C-alpha cells in the first residue's frame, strides 16, 4: 500500500507542541518532514519530560511523543548561508510550517511572500497564539494562556473548583490538528488549481468552536454557562455517579435510555415521578435525582453496572486512570499505540494515526530523530560535498 502523502516534502520550523503535532500527522501519512532546528539545542521539547537523562541527551519524552517519522536538519537561520540553504529547500518543498511570532520569518527574508516568488505551489502555514493580525497578534502565548482567554478554564469544574485548567495542553493539540486539517485542504486545492497559499492558524481561534454547544446556549439562548462539574448540561441522568467501589460514567441522554436505566436499577417508579418524567424536568431536578440513583448504584461495583447498563444500550463506562486507559483491549485492538526502536533509548510506544485508512494507512516507521541526525543527508541532496558540510558545521551554520 502506498502512503497517502508519499512525495510530499514538509519543512517544519516548529517547536514544542502545536506545530510538531500538526507535522506529526503529515509524517504519519507518509510525507517527508524535515525538522529544521537550531544547531545548539534544537526544539525546546527536547529538554522537556520527566526523565532527566533523556533531557540531557536532547531526547526528552515531550519530544519523543510527537516527532516519529521526521528527519532533523540543523540550520542557524541567523546566518546568511543557512537562510540560503533554507531557500533552496523551500524552492522545491510542498509545505512550510512555522510557529514563530508574527513577522519573524519576514525579518529573516523567508516570509511567505518571498518564498512564494520562488515556489508558487508552496503551502505555507503559520501557527501562532492569536494569528498574524489583530490587537493581540504580537503577544506571547502558551497553552495555559489560551485556555484562560478562550473561556475554557471558566466553564470547567464546579462551584468548589473554578477556574480549572484541562489536565493536558488541549489548546496546543487542537491548534495542531486544525493546522494539519488546513494543510491537507490547501494541498487538495493545489491539486485542483496548481497554486499554493498562505494559512494563518491561531490557537485562540482553534479552540473556540469546540465550545459550540455552550456558546450557542449563550449566543442564541441567552444562558450563561453553569458550572456542573462532571454532569452533562444537555441531559440527566448524564454524568459521574458513585458505585460500591468507585465511580461510573452514565449517559442516559435519550428517553428510552432513561427508562431502561430505571429498570436496570430497579426503580421503575421514578419514570412516573413528575420531577423526572420528561427530559427537561429531569435536567432541572438532577440534584434530587442523583442521590436516588446512587442509593442503588452503591449496592454493586462499577464493573457490574457497566455490563448491565450497556446490555440495555445505556451508554456507561468505568473511569480509568491513564495507565489502564492506555492498556485497555480496545486500544490494543485499534493499534492506537505503535512501537518503534530508538537507538540508545530502546523500544518506544508512541501514538500512531488514529483514523484507519483501508487504502493508504498511516504508520510509524522511524523513531524521533537525534538533533541534526539527517543534516548531511539533506545537504548532500542539495549538492553539498562532505568537505563543504564540514566547513559549514565548523562555522556554526549547521
State the number of CA atoms in the 13 A half-sphere of 271 facing the CB.
14
Q: What letter would DSSP give residue 99?
A: -
CA nearest 63: which of 394, 375, 373, 320?
373
Assigned C-alpha cell, 363: 504508520
Q: Report the C-alpha gap between 291 and 268 in whole angstroms.
A: 15
Q: Which of 138, 172, 245, 358 is catalytic?
A: 172
Angle at the Cα of 326 from the Cα atoms of 370 and 368, rounded to 5 degrees: 10
Cβ neighbours for 173, distance < 8 A, ≥ 6 positions apart: 17, 18, 21
Has 172 been annotated as catalytic? yes
Other CB atoms within 10 Å distance of the CB of residue 83 = 17
Q: What letter would DSSP give residue 368?
A: P
CA distances, 321 to each of 144, 240, 277, 332 (Å): 23, 15, 35, 16
Assigned C-alpha cell, 356: 484507519
CA nearest 202: which of 292, 127, 99?
127
* Alpha carbon 251 to its chain's center: 25
Specify whether the CB–CB gap between 162 and 228 falls below 8 A. no
Q: Report the C-alpha gap between 21 and 255 in whole angstroms.
A: 40
Q: What letter would DSSP give residue 310?
A: H
Q: Report the C-alpha gap between 232 and 230 in whole angstroms.
A: 7
3-state DSSP assignment of residue 340: strand
Pairing of strands 316-318, 337-342: unpaired
Report residue 242: phi and psi, to 5°.
-85, 135
**239 Ramachandran zone, left/alpha/beta (phi>0; psi -120 to 50):** left
Q: Which residues are catalytic, by number?
A: 172
Amino acid at each position: 500500500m502506498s502512503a497517502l502523502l508519499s512525495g510530499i516534502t514538509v519543512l517544519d520550523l516548529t517547536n514544542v507542541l502545536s506545530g510538531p503535532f500538526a507535522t506529526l500527522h503529515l509524517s504519519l501519512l507518509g510525507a517527508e518532514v524535515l525538522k529544521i532546528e537550531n544547531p545548539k539545542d534544537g526544539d525546546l521539547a527536547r529538554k522537556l519530560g520527566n526523565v532527566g537523562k533523556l533531557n540531557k541527551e536532547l531526547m526528552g519524552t515531550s519530544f519523543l511523543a510527537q516527532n516519529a517519522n521526521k528527519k532533523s536538519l540543523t540550520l542557524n537561520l541567523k546566518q546568511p548561508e543557512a537562510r540560503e540553504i533554507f531557500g533552496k529547500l523551500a524552492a522545491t518543498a510542498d509545505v512550510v510550517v512555522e510557529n514563530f511570532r508574527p513577522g519573524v520569518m519576514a525579518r529573516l527574508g523567508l516570509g511567505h511572500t518571498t518564498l512564494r516568488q520562488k515556489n508558487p505551489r508552496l503551502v505555507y502555514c503559520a501557527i501562532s497564539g492569536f494569528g498574524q493580525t489583530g490587537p493581540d497578534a504580537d503577544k506571547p502565548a502558551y497553552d495555559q494562556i489560551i485556555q484562560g482567554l478562550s473561556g475554557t478554564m471558566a466553564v470547567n469544574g464546579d462551584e468548589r473548583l473554578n477556574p480549572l485548567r484541562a489536565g493536558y495542553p488541549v489548546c496546543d493539540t487542537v491548534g495542531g490538528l486544525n493546522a494539519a486539517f488546513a494543510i491537507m485542504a490547501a494541498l487538495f486545492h493545489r491539486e485542483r488549481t496548481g497554486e499554493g497559499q498562505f494559512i494563518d492558524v491561531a490557537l485562540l481561534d482553534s479552540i473556540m468552536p469546540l465550545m459550540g454547544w455552550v456558546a450557542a446556549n449563550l449566543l442564541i439562548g441567552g444562558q450563561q454557562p453553569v458550572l456542573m462539574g462532571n454532569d452533562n448540561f444537555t441531559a440527566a441522568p448524564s454524568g459521574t455517579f458513585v458505585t460500591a467501589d468507585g465511580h461510573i460514567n452514565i449517559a442516559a441522554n435519550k428517553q428510552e435510555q432513561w427508562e431502561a436505566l430505571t429498570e436496570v436499577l430497579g426503580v421503575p417508579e421514578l419514570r412516573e415521578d413528575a420531577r423526572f418524567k420528561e427530559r427537561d424536568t429531569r435536567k432541572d431536578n438532577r440534584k434530587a435525582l442523583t442521590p436516588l440513583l446512587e442509593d442503588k448504584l452503591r449496592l454493586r461495583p462499577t464493573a457490574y453496572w457497566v455490563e448491565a447498563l450497556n446490555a440495555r444500550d445505556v451508554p456507561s463506562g468505568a473511569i480509568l486512570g491513564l495507565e489502564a486507559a492506555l492498556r485497555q483491549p480496545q486500544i490494543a485492538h485499534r493499534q492506537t499505540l505503535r512501537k518503534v526502536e530508538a537507538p540508545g533509548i530502546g523500544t518506544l510506544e508512541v501514538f500512531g494515526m488514529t483514523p484507519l485508512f483501508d487504502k493508504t494507512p498511516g504508520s510509524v516507521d522511524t523513531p524521533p530523530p537525534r538533533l541534526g541526525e539527517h543534516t548531511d543527508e539533506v545537504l548532500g541532496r542539495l549538492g553539498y560535498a562532505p568537505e563543504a558540510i564540514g566547513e559549514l558545521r565548523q562555522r556554526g551554520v549547521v
